Chain A
Amino acid sequence: MRRLESRINTRSQEFQTNSVHHRGLAAELKERQQKARHDRPQRDTDRLARQNKLLARARLEHLLDPGTPFLEFSSLAANMAYNGEVPGAGQITGIGIVSGREVVVHADDASVKGGAWYPLSVKKIVRALDIAIENRLPVVHLCDSAGGFLPLQAEFFADRYYAGRIFRNQSILSKMGVPQMALVMGHCTAGGAYVPALSDYNVIVRGTGAIFLGGPPLVKAATGEEVTVEDLGGAEMHTSVSGTADYPASSELHAIAIAREIVERFERRQKTVIDWAEPEAPLYDPQELYGIIPKDQRTSFDMREIIARIVDGSRFHEYQPDFGTSLVCGYARVHGYQVGILANNGVLFSDSALKGTHFIQLCDKNRTPLVFLQNITGFMVGREYERRGITKDGAKMIMAVSGASVPKFTINCNGSFGAGTYGMSGRAFDPRFLFSWPQSQISVMGAEQAANVLTDIKLRQLAREGRTLADDEIAAIREPVLADYRRQSSAYYATSEVWDDGVLDPVDTRNALGIAISASLNAPIESPNYGVFRM
Chain B
Amino acid sequence: MAEIFKIDDVDHSLWLTARSTDGFRLHWNGSQIDIELLSLQGFRHQLRIGAETHEAVIAAFGDRLHIHLDGEIYEVDYADPVSHYARTLGEENADCVRAPMPGTVVSCVARAGDAVVRGDALIVIESMKLETSIKAWRSGTVETVHVEAGCAFERDALLVTLAPVRKA
Contact = CB atoms under 8 A, between A and B. Distances in A.
Interface of A: 1-3, 7-9, 283, 296, 298-300, 325-326, 346-347, 349, 377-378, 380-382, 446, 448-449
B131 interface: yes
Interface string B71-96: 00000000010110000000000000
Nearest to B81: A2
B80 A3 contact: yes
Given A2-B83, A3-B63, A325 B131 contact: no
Contacts of A377: 128-130
**6 pairs of A and B residues whose beta carbons are closest in the complex:** A300-B132, A347-B128, A2-B80, A283-B62, A299-B131, A377-B129
B119 interface: yes
Q: How large is the interface on B (under 10, 10 to 19, 20 to 34, 35 or more residues)?
A: 10 to 19
Contact of A380 (B101, B131, B132): B101
Nearest to A314: B62
B133 interface: yes
A298 B131 contact: yes
Interface of B: 62-63, 80, 82-83, 100-102, 118-119, 127-133, 135
Contacts of B128: 346-347, 377-378, 380-381
A97 B3 CA distance: 41
20 contacts: A1-B80, A2-B83, A3-B63, A7-B119, A283-B62, A298-B129, A298-B131, A299-B130, A300-B130, A300-B131, A300-B133, A325-B100, A326-B101, A346-B100, A346-B101, A346-B130, A346-B132, A349-B101, A382-B102, A448-B129
A449 B131 CA distance: 15
Q: Counting chain A CB atoms within 10 Å of each CB, which of B83, B118, B132 scores highest?
A: B132
B119 A9 contact: yes
Contacts of A382: 102
A347 B131 contact: no
Given A2-B80, A326-B101, A347-B101, A7 B118 contact: yes
A1 B81 CA distance: 9
B83 to A, nearest CB: 5
Contact of A347 (B83, B118, B119, B127): B127
A349 B156 CA distance: 13
Main SS at interface, chain B: loop
Contacts of A8: 119
A296 B130 contact: no
A17 B100 CA distance: 27
A380 B103 CA distance: 11
Given A296-B131, A300-B132, A346-B130, 6 more contacts: A299-B131, A300-B133, A326-B101, A347-B130, A349-B101, A380-B128
A272 to B, nearest CB: 29
Contacts of A381: 128
Nearest to A298: B131
Given A7-B118, A325-B100, A326-B100, A446 B80 contact: no
A440 to B, nearest CB: 14
Contacts of B100: 325-326, 346
A325 B127 CA distance: 15
Nearest to A299: B131
A217 B15 CA distance: 80
Give the most central of A325, A347, A449: most B CB within 10 Å.
A347
A298 B130 contact: yes
Contacts of B83: 2
Nearest to B121: A14
A172 B133 CA distance: 51
A375 to B, nearest CB: 9
B85 to A, nearest CB: 11
A283 to B, nearest CB: 5
Nearest to A349: B101
Contact of A446 (B63, B129, B131): B129
Contacts of B80: 1-3
Interface centre among A2, A8, A382, A449 (most CB of B within 10 A): A2
A299 B127 contact: no
A299 B133 CA distance: 8
Contacts of A349: 101
A453 to B, nearest CB: 13
B134 to A, nearest CB: 10
B160 to A, nearest CB: 17
Nearest to A9: B119
A47 to B, nearest CB: 51
A378 B133 CA distance: 19
Given A9-B119, A325-B100, A326-B101, A3 B62 contact: yes
Nearest to B78: A3
Contacts of A298: 129-131
Nearest to B128: A347
Contacts of A446: 129
B35 to A, nearest CB: 21
A449 B128 CA distance: 11
Nearest to B103: A347
B145 to A, nearest CB: 20
A80 B24 CA distance: 60
A117 to B, nearest CB: 40
Nearest to A315: B80
Nearest to A302: B135
A317 to B, nearest CB: 8
Contacts of B131: 296, 298-300
Contacts of A2: 80, 82-83
A532 B165 CA distance: 50
Nearest to B82: A2
A485 to B, nearest CB: 14
A326 B155 CA distance: 13
